[in-house]
Amino acid sequence: MSIGSVWPVIGLSRILRCLAVCLVGGLVVLVPSVGRAADLIGADQSDLIKSLLPTVVNITTSKVEPVAPPPAQMAGAATPSPRSAVPTTIKSYVGSGFVIDPTGVIVTNYHVVEDAFEIVVTLSDGTRLKGKMLAASRLADLALVKIDADHPLKAAQWGDSDTVQVGDQVFAAGNPFGIGISISSGIVSALNRDIQNSPYDDLIQTDAAINHGNSGGPLFNMKGQVIGVDSDILSPTTGSVGLGFAIPSSSAQFVAQRLQMYGWVRPSWIGVKLQQVTPDIAQALGMEQAMGSLVSWVIEGGPAAKAGLKVGDAVMQFNGAPPSDERALLRDIAHTSVGDSIILGVRRDGKMIDVRVQVEQWPRNQWDKFDAPAEATQPKITIPADLGLTMAPLTPDDRVKMNTGAIKEGVVIKAVAANSDAYEKGVVAGDIIVRVQDKPVATKAEVLAALQADRAAKRRYTLLLILPKARTLPGPKYYALQIGPQGE
Three-class SS state of 157: strand
CA atoms of 105 and 144, how far apart (whole Å): 7
Q: Span 9-70+86-262: which CATH code? A: 2.40.10.120
What integer pLDDT is reported at residue 71 of this predicted model?
Answer: 54
pLDDT in tens, 68-112: 665 555 444 455 555 455 666 778 899 999 999 999 999 999 999
Catalytic residue among 215, 235, 268, 420: 215
As a dihedral over the C-alpha atoms of residue 394, residue 396, residue 402, residue 407, rounded to 10 degrees, the angle is 70
Q: Which of 11-15, 148-152, 378-382 is least confident?
A: 11-15
More confident residue, 485 or 172: 172
As a dihedral over the C-alpha atoms of residue 73, residue 75, residue 77, residue 79, rounded to 10 degrees, the angle is 50
Confidence band for 418, pLDDT divided at 50, 70 and 90: confident
Average pLDDT score over residue span 302-314: 94
What integer pLDDT is reported at residue 420 of this predicted model?
Answer: 79
CA atoms of 74 and 303, how far apart (whole Å): 51
Superfamily of domain 389-482: PDZ domain (2.30.42.10)
Average pLDDT, the chain: 83
Catalytic residue among 141, 230, 325, 371: 141
* Domain at 268-361, CATH class: mainly beta
Identify whether 151 is a catalytic site residue: no
Residue 28 has pLDDT above 80, yes or no: no
In this structure, are residues 459 and 481 in contact, taking their beta carbons and an 8 Å threshold? Answer: no
In this structure, are residues 110 and 137 in contact, taking their beta carbons and an 8 Å threshold? Answer: yes
Residue 264 has pLDDT above 50, yes or no: yes
Identify whether 215 is a catalytic site residue: yes
Catalytic residue among 111, 198, 231, 268: 111
CA atoms of 351 and 344, how far apart (whole Å): 13
| Helical (H) or strand (E) element with 331 | helix 326-335
> Among 331, 174, 359, 167, which Cα is nearest to 253's?
331
Domain ranges of the chain: 9-70+86-262, 268-361, 389-482
Cα→Cα distances 379→55, 59, 135, 156, 464, Å:
31, 19, 21, 34, 23
Domains 268-361 and 389-482 fall in the same CATH topology: yes
Q: What is the DSSP string of 242-286?
A: S-EEEEEHHHHHHHHHHHHHHSS---EE--EEEEE--HHHHHHHT
Residue 134 has pLDDT above 60, yes or no: yes
Confidence band for 64, pLDDT divided at 50, 70 and 90: confident
Strand-pairing partners, residue 206, are 188, 244
Three-class SS state of 391: strand
What integer pLDDT is reported at residue 7 of this predicted model?
Answer: 30
Confidence band for 17, pLDDT divided at 50, 70 and 90: low
What integer pLDDT is reported at residue 217 of this predicted model?
Answer: 94
